[in-house]
């Protein structure tokens, strides 16, 4: 799985664009992962939306993850699911999805990260790194020092999330993460394709420079 540019859909801030429209534009701009996140949409509507997004990601060879809603992920045969600390337990999700699917876990502390690794998580979402308004219940910004501390404590892929944009991208990548998850810097942009492409190009440039 290529975690480089992990885009999370959010219809609340997409200026009228649907999850499908956001995903389609993000893929055209070079997104390497698409996550569907909508905690309010009815299950029947979410299944329809996710099936359409999954078709697009399949064509592009990009991973499709569903946030939180494990049964939806199973219904559409998504590549995996992402769980927060308050969501369904890892063990229950694994039983529903089977051993082949990807399960990511959100973590804000070293302890949470280690517990997720011990439980069998495939990757970690660490954040919020910077202040963010996209997720109202997000905790206090962790900052780069905490991100580095968590990175050193685990040996599975890490995706940083929360307030990440073109201006702070380099210091996040320098912390040793495998990718960045972006919402508002792409989803709220007037031109999603262009916003994605700029981030993707910068990520590739920074990573090349490091090697």
The arithmetic mean of pLDDT across residues 178-189, rounded, is: 96
The arithmetic mean of pLDDT across residues 110-118, rounded, is: 97
Instruction: Indicate if the pLDDT at residue 118 is higher than 90.
Output: yes
Q: For residues 146-171, b (16+ Cβ closer than 10 Å) or e, as one string? A: bbeebbeebeebbbbbbbbbeebbee
10 Å Cβ neighbour count for 65? 26
10 Å Cβ neighbour count for 130? 17
User: Is 195:189 a contact under the CB 8 Å cutoff?
Assistant: yes
Q: What is the pLDDT of residues 31-45, one digit of tens each?
A: 999 999 999 999 999
Burial label for 142, CB within 10 Å (0-12, 13-18, 19+), is buried
User: 16 - beta bridge partners?
Assistant: none
51 catalytic per annotation? no
pLDDT band at 207 (very low <50, low <70, confident <90, very high): confident
Domain containing residue 190: CATH number = 3.20.20.70
Instruction: Give the single-character DSSP code of 13.
Output: G
Domains in the chain: how many in total?
1
Instruction: Give the single-character DSSP code of 92.
Output: H
Instruction: Indicate if the pLDDT at residue 90 is higher than 70.
Output: yes
8: helix, coil or strand?
strand
Instruction: Give the length of the chain.
Output: 211
Distance of CA 151 to CAs 28, 48, 116, 170, Å?
30, 36, 13, 16
135 catalytic per annotation? yes
Which pTM value belongs to this model?
A: 0.95
User: Phi, psi (5° rounding) for residue 135?
Assistant: -115, 105
**What pLDDT was estimated at residue 38?**
96
The arithmetic mean of pLDDT across residues 102-124, rounded, is: 97
Residue 191 belongs to domain spanning = 5-210
Q: What is the pLDDT of residues 47-81, one digit of tens each?
A: 999 999 999 999 999 999 999 999 999 999 999 99
Q: Which of 135, 146, 148, 197 is catalytic?
A: 135
23: helix, coil or strand?
helix
Q: What is the pLDDT of residues 129-181, one digit of tens each?
A: 998 776 656 678 999 999 999 999 999 999 999 999 999 999 999 999 999 99
12 catalytic per annotation? no
């Amino acid at each position: 799985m290529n975690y480089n540019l992990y885009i999370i859909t959010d219809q609340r801030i997409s200026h009228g664009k649907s999850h499908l429209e956001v995903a389609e534009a993000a893929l055209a701009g070079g997104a390497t992962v698409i996550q569907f996140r909508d905690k309010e949409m009815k299950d029947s509507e979410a299944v329809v939306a996710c099936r359409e997004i999954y078709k697009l990601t399949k064509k592009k060879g990009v991973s499709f993850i569903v946030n939180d809603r494990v049964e939806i992920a199973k219904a559409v045969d998504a590549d995996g699911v992402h769980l927060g600390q308050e969501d369904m337990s890892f063990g229950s999700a694994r039983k529903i999805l089977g051993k082949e699917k990807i399960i990511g876990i959100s973590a804000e502390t070293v302890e949470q990260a280690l517990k997720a690794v011990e439980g069998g998580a495939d990757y970690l979402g660490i954040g919020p790194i910077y202040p963010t308004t996209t997720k109202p219940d997000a905790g206090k910004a962790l900052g780069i020092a905490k991100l580095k501390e968590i990175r050193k404590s685990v040996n599975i892929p890490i995706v940083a999330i929360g307030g990440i944009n073109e201006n702070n991208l380099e210091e996040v990548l320098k912390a040793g993460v495998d990718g960045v998850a972006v919402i508002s810097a792409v989803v709220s942009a007037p031109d999603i394709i262009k916003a994605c492409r700029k981030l993707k190009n910068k990520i590739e440039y920074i990573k090349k420079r490091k090697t």
